[in-house]
Chains A and B, each alone.
Chain A
């Protein structure tokens, strides 16, 4: 190798060699003017000092022997302009050429007539290539399509083994000496930095040099065996020698974990593999204890990609498909009772329905409502007595116990409040059909221990309060006691309900927001009993009557917000006047219309009609009165019948005769749409039990739905 020898290529097609060892001022050595167009690249043979290769815009590559005046051989790529030529470092005779049309060709220097091999490497021009200094089969190429690709040439077909995506077209690639997988790149446009990539980790450069102010035009490692020094030139007229330890490492600034929600409620989470692999056996993710978000929903790691090279893992948690179905909606709609029975029964019934469908939160709400607005009516007196007895017997004991406990109880309550706030926002994040329902078992086993403590504390504190009040007014209880057993229409009593009960309300509220319905469900009987006892006591106190209507209103608003307009509307209907004034007309109307719309989408016509009928909103009520006319034609003269449904004005005949009994039908008339014969509903039903033909004898096979 001659250190004084230098070769340059010019845009006008001239290849010049320079000898720095020349004594004269003009160091120019040789001049080759064989190329007709711009020469894009010249390359010395790695071992033969005198062998120089050039690649030009005109599509030719020429090999020069510096001891001769002319080129030794010419290679024609038979395609477009040559952008880069590189001698193989290990194979004495081989060189690679890259082309503007995306191809890479391999040539044997001894055979100028034909290339050895050709493959398409990039979409658009391939600007550069570089042979791996150690592994002789590897060739890296960089193109305008912003990719760096590493090809394994040992096999018969060139195989792409690594691909690095950069942010701008790649102008130069250079393997880093002594580091098998490292490669330096710089780009031609827009981006001025030099990157060193580990090809196994294609998404983030392992080192980055940011000194240049304009486009970097060339890079080279300073010494064949020194991986720490990199030289680079740039259009900003500077030449830099970079030392590797100065490089900035983007990895330090990168976010190690990523978390994202999808449109459909799926959750993707990427983190270091070590973090994830430690508990890969556990189904719910490790974070479930720390972040409520995780245990709010049952997360099945349905997909798990692992990138060995980058040693991080991505988990995608899908929302359970089951939970997406709206079966519960249909069932609930069908089974809810909205009117026709005393309030307490309705509430109980609906609570049962909700519970049957595993919607504990809703069931809880119904129970609460019954407690709030109804009272003893449904509870048997024996039970009551029992509980009262229990209450009174344990009274002193409880009292003392709770007195001690009050501070802690209060503390926990405030904490609960906080958690309520948090989890509410999360609830909104989830769609109405979210997995709350399905989560129970999981939560009970895993997530509930800690909150349960709070809860118990809370309950005790409340009970304590209640009993304290009891204690103050022990005699009042007895008086009130007889009332319910007289079977008063309880509802009116309850309208002006005593209502320091907001404690209870709180209590009932907090469990379900913190996601532990199972827990609270078991607690409710106790609550209700204790409640009864105070409700009477407080009755005496004459607290404002609709004291906690605002809370119920908030509950309804909350449900509507969540998308569960069904619950909101059902409660609205069941409670009727008790709550109606609390919510402004427009909101109510909005709820009604959405619910009716939903019902009609599920083709629950009867229920939607019932809802319309029961609604107290005028706008909604009107719906039932619109388009109620049914136009019918006379079956004889086929003219529209104007005033009465059973006798035609024109032909003076009774139009709707029962085909079975031959009398005029004035009530429910049913007829076959095929032959238009029909009659009394009862008669036709009876007829069809025995025969499927038309009773009028027209021979039609009647079909009724």
Chain B
């Protein structure tokens, strides 16, 4: 009330008042369907309070994630630990690494947030002009960052050795683990940001405007993401008016799940067949790309801090690329990754383990309008599909299931969010699982985020382990 009067007063005085540009925390989810601050339940409220206390703000990521408070709690705890608590890296390094990672995906939202934090903890503003202005030590990390973000399977122990063995500016193992966890955390968080269409914070670039409301209502991010106001008009009715087709979609999916459940025991594929299925799925995932891919706006360098061309996004040819298979049994998170992380960066292994667990096991036993559904099969399919895209294979999984459960538009969405999040559009978001709730789509995003993070971590940790032995 007081604020409102104050604002009015300012307006009379001729001071320009910035006006929020977004429509709630997410551009994909109508504001009225997100959790409203003030109407949250006790648990959410406690989370908001925690988040506000540690970050000094309620960011839009939190406001979207709060659909799943159980996960959000673990997420915030981990992020707080990584950024604020005792760790091998100094505070400004942590934020800078966050900026580096987010900039890989041109995620201006995260970059802006962390630029503020970086300056706040006393970071040198010069570093923000580009990676070449940062200390050599951080520059060395650039290569790893690039590979982790786009082709983690190429990381070898030689890369690790290069970081650890250079005479000066070398990293210690504990620092490296911390950096790797931060990098993967922000890569996957960038996926979430784009996957859910998080709006820029009001105080950040692109989050507000001084123009009167009527002129334009899309921001910088929208442009780069190929989001056009027109789409909105087309997409919204599709999402809101259930067409017969989309109702069928849910029914069909449930039917398939039931079928798979039943026929599993009867039809047994041979060892070779299973391997072929995995290879096929892996290959196909390479070719899955959105039809909109070409028409999406050219990747513009939103993050002004990294204008350096050598640091720009390097697209690699998906065609003819061979992803070597990583057998999950050889290096699993539970057995190997956890132990390594916890050894070098105590407690983080535990926190990540908890977060993976919650994300993987989270279920409300509902699917769209249906209740009491066992969704474990679907969740496992999504998780394994993502790992499959990274070349991680589980011997005990029949990859044929993926084809049955995930339709093409969904695969396109997953592939885009996980591999090239900056190309995600609202149309993609709207076109998969049209009948599902927004909270369920956010749930899918959580699975994508965690699966991606784990996959990246596994490759990096495996390389570190190989270096150590």
- Check B395–A189 contact: CB distance below 8 A: no
Q: Give the CA-CA distance A214 to B343 in the complex, in Å.
A: 18
Residues on B with beta carbons closer than 8 Å to the beta carbon of A189:
335-336, 339-340, 343, 465
Taking residues whose C-beta sits less than 8 angstroms from the other chain, chain B's interface range is: 10 to 19
Residues on A with beta carbons closer than 8 Å to the beta carbon of B469:
192, 213-215
Q: Give the CA-CA distance A36 to B264 in the complex, in Å.
A: 9
- Interface flag for A680 (CB, 8 Å): no
- Check A11–B329 contact: CB distance below 8 A: yes
- Interface flag for A13 (CB, 8 Å): yes
Residues on A with beta carbons closer than 8 Å to the beta carbon of B335:
125, 127, 144, 169, 188-189
CB A367 to nearest CB in B, in angstroms, measures 54
- Mask: chain B, 264-284; 1 = CB below 8 Å from A; 0 = not: 100010010010000000000
Among A11, A37, A214, the one with the most B-chain Cβ atoms within 10 Å of its Cβ is A11
Residues on B with beta carbons closer than 8 Å to the beta carbon of A125:
334-335
Residues on B with beta carbons closer than 8 Å to the beta carbon of A124:
338, 353
- Interface flag for A190 (CB, 8 Å): yes
- Interface flag for A381 (CB, 8 Å): no
SS of A interface (majority): loop
Residues on A with beta carbons closer than 8 Å to the beta carbon of B329:
11, 38
Q: Give the CA-CA distance A127 to B334 in the complex, in Å.
A: 11
- Check B339–A57 contact: CB distance below 8 A: no
Residues on B with beta carbons closer than 8 Å to the beta carbon of A100:
334
- Check A12–B336 contact: CB distance below 8 A: no
CB B249 to nearest CB in A, in angstroms, measures 27
Residues on B with beta carbons closer than 8 Å to the beta carbon of A10:
395
Residues on B with beta carbons closer than 8 Å to the beta carbon of A188:
335-336, 339
**Interface members, chain B 70-98 (any A CB < 8 Å):** none
Q: Give the CA-CA distance A386 to B327 in the complex, in Å.
A: 102
- Interface flag for A664 (CB, 8 Å): no
Contact of A144 among B274, B339, B396 (CB under 8 A): B339
- Interface flag for B3 (CB, 8 Å): no
- Interface flag for A485 (CB, 8 Å): no
SS of B interface (majority): helix
CB A317 to nearest CB in B, in angstroms, measures 32
Q: Give the CA-CA distance A214 to B271 in the complex, in Å.
A: 29
- Check B271–A12 contact: CB distance below 8 A: yes
Q: Give the CA-CA distance A33 to B264 in the complex, in Å.
A: 12
Among B271, B338, B469, the one with the most A-chain Cβ atoms within 10 Å of its Cβ is B469
Q: Give the CA-CA distance A286 to B469 in the complex, in Å.
A: 47
- Interface flag for A5 (CB, 8 Å): no
- Interface flag for B6 (CB, 8 Å): no
Q: Give the CA-CA distance A608 to B335 in the complex, in Å.
A: 67
- Check B339–A13 contact: CB distance below 8 A: no
Residues on B with beta carbons closer than 8 Å to the beta carbon of A33:
268
- Interface flag for A109 (CB, 8 Å): no
- Mask: chain A, 1-20; 1 = CB below 8 Å from B; 0 = not: 00000000011110000000
- Interface flag for B468 (CB, 8 Å): yes
Contact of A57 among B271, B336, B396 (CB under 8 A): B396
Contact of A12 among B274, B338, B343, B468 (CB under 8 A): B274
Least CB separation from A100: chain B residue: B334
Among B274, B336, B396, the one with the most A-chain Cβ atoms within 10 Å of its Cβ is B396
Contact of A38 among B264, B338, B396 (CB under 8 A): B396
Knowing A125-B334, A189-B336, A213-B469, say if A168 contacts B396 (CB, 8 Å). Answer: no
Q: Give the CA-CA distance A508 to B274 in the complex, in Å.
A: 93
- Mask: chain B, 371-405; 1 = CB below 8 Å from A; 0 = not: 00000000000000000000000011000000000
CB B261 to nearest CB in A, in angstroms, measures 11
**Interface members, chain A 23-60 (any B CB < 8 Å):** 33, 36-38, 57
- Check B334–A190 contact: CB distance below 8 A: no
**Interface members, chain B 418-469 (any A CB < 8 Å):** 465, 468-469
CB A569 to nearest CB in B, in angstroms, measures 41
Q: Give the CA-CA distance A11 to B332 in the complex, in Å.
A: 12
* Given contact pairs A169-B335, A189-B340, a sample of 13 additional A-B residue pairs in the complex whose CB atoms are under 8 Å apart: A11-B395, A12-B274, A38-B396, A100-B334, A124-B338, A125-B334, A144-B334, A168-B339, A189-B335, A189-B343, A213-B469, A214-B469, A215-B469
B residues lining the A interface (CB < 8 Å): 264, 268, 271, 274, 327, 329, 334-336, 338-340, 343, 353, 395-396, 465, 468-469
24 A-B interface contacts by CB (under 8 A): A10-B395, A11-B329, A12-B271, A12-B274, A13-B396, A36-B264, A37-B396, A38-B329, A38-B395, A124-B338, A125-B334, A125-B335, A127-B335, A144-B338, A144-B339, A168-B339, A169-B335, A169-B338, A188-B335, A188-B339, A189-B340, A190-B343, A190-B468, A192-B469
6 cross-chain pairs, A with B, having the tightest CB-CB distances, nearest first: A11-B395, A189-B339, A37-B396, A12-B395, A169-B339, A11-B329
A residues lining the B interface (CB < 8 Å): 10-13, 33, 36-38, 57, 100, 124-125, 127, 144, 168-169, 188-190, 192, 213-215
